[in-house]
Amino acid sequence: MRIHTLSVLSLAVCAAFSSVTMAAEDLANLIDYGKVSVDARYRYENVDQDNALNNANAQTLRTRIGAQSGKWYGLSGLVEVDNVSRIGDASYNNTRDGQKDFSVVADPDGTEFNQALLRYDYKYGNAVAGRQRINLDNQRFVGGVAWRQNEQTYDGVLGQIKPITGMTLTYSYIDNINTIFGPDNGSYDNKTNPANIEGHSQLFNAQYILLRDRRGAPQLTLTGYSYQLGLDNIAVTAAAPVGSLSSRTNGVRATGAIGALSIVGEYAQQEDYADNPQELDSDYYLAELGYTWQGIVLKGGYEVLGGDDGVGNRAFQTPLATKHAFQGWADVFLTTPADGIEDAYVGATVPLWGGQLQAWYHDFDAEQGSTSYGDEIDLSYGHPIPAVPGLTALVKYASYDADTAVLRGNVANVDTDKLWLQMQYIY
């Protein structure tokens, strides 16, 4: 792991720190108020696809141990180490083991630093330097992909300023991204799944809460963002040139709540950036409506990632997103097809028997043309284990029914069923 300096941002933070007069604090606070965390997650994943590949049966254990310091004059540190280990036979393709006769379960074995950072908190914000977790808004464009056993984290600096009540300004500079496919490359990786994405990226995000209700909960929040991604060693498809995922995405997002009703609207425009050899010009739209009744949350929405009729795949892409949370849990559309995608969805989250039941339905169509990609049903149920505090169990199922055998500019699109059984302990 490379250690990064704070650069210009660090100088600003240090200047702010030195200019503030505070009562003396004991250096021992860093240890006295520190804590150790343990997170162990066992998962069984089965993948059944209607193609020539053998069904995948993966058992993995992700163990995460962290040490968080206390604070001394606003300064603190965090070190977190992950290990992902296979349990039993390797009857799946983890993208690094050469098991290409099996369907993919993208959880390679390995051990690495998940986070290793220094943080400074002060009255009007904070600054973080090092390897860190970055989740912006709903993680549609920048997230940690925490569903996979090896979380995606970022090497760089991040600063937040809250100049007035309700406003948060976020800036981040990133020069390396530790993807879910790490920690190592090998003889079986390719330019669509590197362990580390190299390059120079900047994230700008400005959020302002315009209205609150009588209890202080946000009623109307506006967010503007610009994500400038220079991704040098990754390609949108195996046939595309490296750098073809470098992009600048500018957008606005509005979330609102009126009583039990919630509304989300979002628009973004994407163009090529840095040394991308392909010309990009596509749009993103989202409209979502929700309603909460006696703990039951109902939602319906329509999300569009625009396509392009040029040579190759020039559709709207979200390479740093937590993609598993969008467009169905079967993860069929991790790369947006060249003709784009329209996702009409409806779902519910229901408290049941002390746990939580989720059910979702997606209908997928091409954004350009009249092609139907198919539909998907997703179900899950999670429940804490009463006898063991911190232990939870989850069963989850996704069933994608394909209408089109091949997507232009993408891999074959086939019927896909996935089943997960999971136990997780957090201390």
**Phi, then psi, of 31 in degrees rounded to 5:** -95, -45
Q: Residue 5 has what pLDDT?
A: 37
Q: How many domains does the chain have?
A: 1
User: Could you tell me if residue 326 is inside a domain?
Assistant: yes
User: Could you tell me if residue 1 is inside a domain?
Assistant: no
Residue 198 · residue 176 · CB < 8 Å: yes
Local structure of 13: helix, strand or coil:
helix
Decide: pTM greater than 0.75: yes
Query: Nearest Cα to 362, choosing from 378, 380, 348, 339?
Result: 378
User: Looking at the DSSP assignment, which residues form a beta bridge with residue 268?
Assistant: 251, 284
For 167, the token pair is 């406003």
Residue 282 · residue 312 · CB < 8 Å: no
Q: Residue 405 has what pLDDT?
A: 61
Question: Domain of 336: which CATH number?
Answer: 2.40.160.10
User: Could you tell me if residue 49 is inside a domain?
Assistant: yes
What pLDDT tens digit does each residue of the chain (427 aa) get? 444 433 434 434 444 444 444 458 899 999 999 999 999 999 999 999 999 999 999 999 999 999 999 999 999 999 999 999 999 999 999 999 999 999 999 999 999 999 999 999 999 999 999 999 999 999 999 999 999 999 999 999 999 999 999 999 999 999 999 999 999 999 999 999 999 999 999 999 999 999 888 888 889 999 999 999 999 999 999 999 999 999 999 999 999 999 999 999 999 999 999 999 999 999 999 999 999 999 999 999 999 999 998 888 999 999 999 999 999 999 999 999 999 999 999 999 999 999 999 999 999 999 998 899 999 999 999 999 999 999 999 999 999 999 876 666 565 689 999 999 999 999 9
Q: Residue 310 has what pLDDT?
A: 83
Domain of residue 81 covers: 7-426
User: Could you tell me if residue 2 is inside a domain?
Assistant: no
Element (H, E) at 17: helix 7-19
pLDDT tens by residue, 72-123: 999 999 999 999 999 999 999 999 999 999 999 999 999 999 999 999 999 9
User: Could you tell me if residue 244 is inside a domain?
Assistant: yes
Element (H, E) at 220: strand 218-229
Cα distances (angstroms) measured from residue 114 to each of 23, 84, 200, 421: 34, 11, 20, 24
Local structure of 172: helix, strand or coil:
strand
